[in-house]
Amino acid sequence: MSPAKFPGERDGYDAKIARCIAEVIAAIEADASFRVPHTEAERQNAFADWLAAYRSKLAPVIQAALQSELPSPFERQNSGVFQDTIENRIWPEVAQRLRSYAVRYQAGAWVRQHLGDAVTLGIPKIRGERWYVPLGVASNSAHLGQVVLDANGMVLSDLTSTCEQIREKLHGRKLSSITTAAEQQ
């Protein structure tokens, strides 16, 4: 009988899986060699090749985390269930976090080039095939705009907030008629 068949055990099992995921993510964050994809080839097919490379690199970490959370032979007796847990419960969450890091890097590079370094980036969220990265400024906690990226990490400029739109939200009024210091020069 699997642990999920006992009343109340499913929550305990889910908590173990959540701890495995957290352990793998902590290992990624502690890894000084971690690098987000820089080339378009690494970003193709929703980062598939880059994720595959990290999957093989993280395999021992995932395995160790799962074994530490499911230490009894009873819980590990069926290696198919063990692999299924990795494939369907742990890896999808880890892969999504890795994609989030890659998307945030891409958004950050675009923001520095087009909006400047005073703009802050929030946590990327995916909706459908697009990523949305909230924008703000350090002196204001409000959501002032967003960078929208496709599944391959390419910025969709027509859906992304402009510098003027961010200024308008920041100052609470239409700024198109106001001349900025940079424009006066």
pLDDT digits (tens, 9 = 90+) for 138-167: 877 788 999 999 999 999 999 999 999 988
In this structure, of 4-8, 40-44, 106-110, 161-165, the range with the lowest mean pLDDT score is 4-8
Q: Above 90 in pLDDT, residue 60?
A: yes
With 0-12 / 13-18 / 19 or more C-beta atoms within 10 angstroms meaning exposed / middle / buried, residue 41 is: exposed
Which pair of structure tokens corresponds to residue 147? Answer: 């960078």
Residues 153 and 93 in one domain: no
Tell me: do 72 and 151 sit in the same domain. Answer: no
Q: Is the pLDDT of residue 175 over 90?
A: no
Q: In this predicted model, which residue has the larger pLDDT, 123 or 177? A: 123
Q: Cα(91)–Cα(86) distance, rounded to whole angstroms? A: 6
Contact indicator for 55, 95 with CB cutoff of 8 Å = yes
Are residues 8 and 22 both part of a single domain?
Answer: yes
**Same structural domain for residues 43 and 13?**
yes
Task: Over range 11-24, report the average pLDDT.
Answer: 91
> Which of 63, 96, 111 is the last residue before a domain boundary?
111
Interacting residues of 103 by C-beta distance below 8 A, sequence separation 6+: 124, 131, 133, 149, 153
Confidence of residue 79 (pLDDT cuts 50, 70, 90): low
* Structural domain span for residue 177: 116-184
Average pLDDT for the chain: 85
Looking at the fold, whether 104 and 123 belong to one and the same domain comes out as: no
Query: What per-residue confidence (pLDDT) applies to 144?
Result: 92
145 to 2, 104, 162: CA distances (angstroms):
47, 14, 8
**Domain final position from 60, 78, 111:** 111
Specify the number of domains making up the chain.
2
- Contact between residue 110 and residue 155 where contact means Cβ atoms under 8 Å apart: yes
Residue 117 has pLDDT above 60, yes or no: yes
Residues 125 and 81 in one domain: no
Q: Is the pLDDT of residue 2 over 50?
A: no
Q: Are residues 68 and 120 in the same domain?
A: no
Residues 97 and 136 in one domain: no
Which of 111, 145, 162 terminates a domain? The answer is: 111
Residues 8 and 90 in one domain: yes
Q: Whole-angstrom Cα distance, residue 134 to residue 125?
A: 9
